[in-house]
Every structure is written in structure tokens, then in C-alpha cells.
Chains A and B, each alone.
Chain A
Amino acid sequence: METPAAAADNRIRLPAGILGFEQIKDYMLLANPAEMPFAWLRPAEGASLAFVVINPFFVMPGYAPDIPETDVEFLGLKEPNDALLFSIVTLRGPNRATLNLKGPLVVNRHTHIGKQVIIANAGNYSVEHPLPVAAAV
């Protein structure tokens, strides 16, 4: 059971950072209802940098990432429900965006500690899975 204080806390700590951005470990998850289903992952301080993230199941309901046991233990996940999953989105132009299904961010929803996990079945998925972007009007 989450306390209201924990629920309101949008901070996420990634002790190992994001691959290629290992030095940044503290992030904030910012969600604007108008931008759903997207959310933003921004460094808690410093760097003018952001990652767009999305719940991969929203795009691919059958997504079945195999989270290595090492990572399950590291994150202290006791049951699947403890985990929040985010896929990092790459914006590639006004009408094109892709998401990374090989390396999702897995966050323990209780501790807010997360990790970019390389899934054991990465071979089944793409790092550039196309998002179903609506045609520009």
C-alpha cells in the first residue's frame, strides 16, 4: 500500500543511469494530461535534457519483456505489479517516432528505484519500433 506522500513523489532514481548517460542518476517523471500517453523523464537537476517515455503496453499490448532475474533482485520486485515499465521514445520528425523495446526502464513503484534493463529476449524486439503516429492534418 502506497502512502499518499510516496504517490505524489515523481522522483525516480536510476542508480546505474541510462546507458550512455550513466552520470545522471536522479530523474523526475513529468506527465501532462494533455500529452498522454507520453510522459517526460527529466534530470532532477542540471542538464537541459529530456527523454520522452511511454507505457510500451499502450503501443503493443502483447509486449512480453523477459526481465533478467538479476534485475528483478536489484530492483526488489516481488511481483509483476511492483514494476512500472517505460519505453524511451525517439522523436524522428513531425510524423515519425519510434520506441525502444529492447531496453525498457523498469521502476519499482514502491521505492521509485529503476533501471534501464536489457531484456533477456531482446532479440524478439526492436530498438526502433515505430509508433503509430497519426498523419498530420
Chain B
Amino acid sequence: MLILSRKTGESIVIAGNIRVTVVRLDGETVKIGVEAPASVPVHRQEVYEEIQRSNQQAATQPTAALPKLSPPKT
């Protein structure tokens, strides 16, 4: 992993079109600003992992029995 030291307000540039800036330090929390083209999705890693894990749990056999749902509330 490439590790760079940055001060508040300093940035790194990735691939010429993505800029990551250290906006603020607040105790253990670092506020990071990401400027990227609209075609580059940016998400917190936890959300990715959460959805990936959920998908892996959801993958089932085509013969799985489906539950009966309670009637939707009106």
C-alpha cells in the first residue's frame, strides 16, 4: 500500500481526475473530501462489504421454499 503523509487541506490526485483532500482532523476522525467524475462511484467500504455479505447470505437454491407474507398494511 502506498502511504503518504498529508496535512489538513492537502490532497492527493489519482489518475489525474480524482482528488482526495484531508479536510479536517477531529480526534480519531479524519474528514476526507473526494472529488471524482460522476462515473466513479465512491462509497464507504463498510457499505460495500455489508451488501456483499448480504448477497452471499441471500444466494440460495432455486428450490428454496418461500415464506408466506402477512397481508401488507393498508
Contacts and interface: CB of A to CB of B under 8 A. Distances in A.
Interface in A57-115: 58-59, 61, 68-71, 73-74, 88-91, 94-97, 100, 102-103
A59 B51 CA distance: 19
Contacts of B56: 20
Most chain A beta-carbon neighbours within 10 Å: one of B50, B52, B62, B67: B67
Interface residues of B, number: 28
Interface string A41-63: 01000001111100000110100
Contacts, number: 105
Interface residues of A, number: 43
Contacts of B59: 21, 49-51
B69 interface: yes
B64 interface: yes
State the 6 A-B residue pairs at the shortest beta-carbon distance, nearest first.
Answer: A103-B51, A132-B70, A20-B52, A90-B58, A50-B62, A127-B54
Interface of A: 18-21, 35, 37-38, 40, 42, 48-52, 58-59, 61, 68-71, 73-74, 88-91, 94-97, 100, 102-103, 116, 118, 122, 127-128, 131-134
Interface of B: 38-41, 43, 47-48, 50-62, 64-70, 72
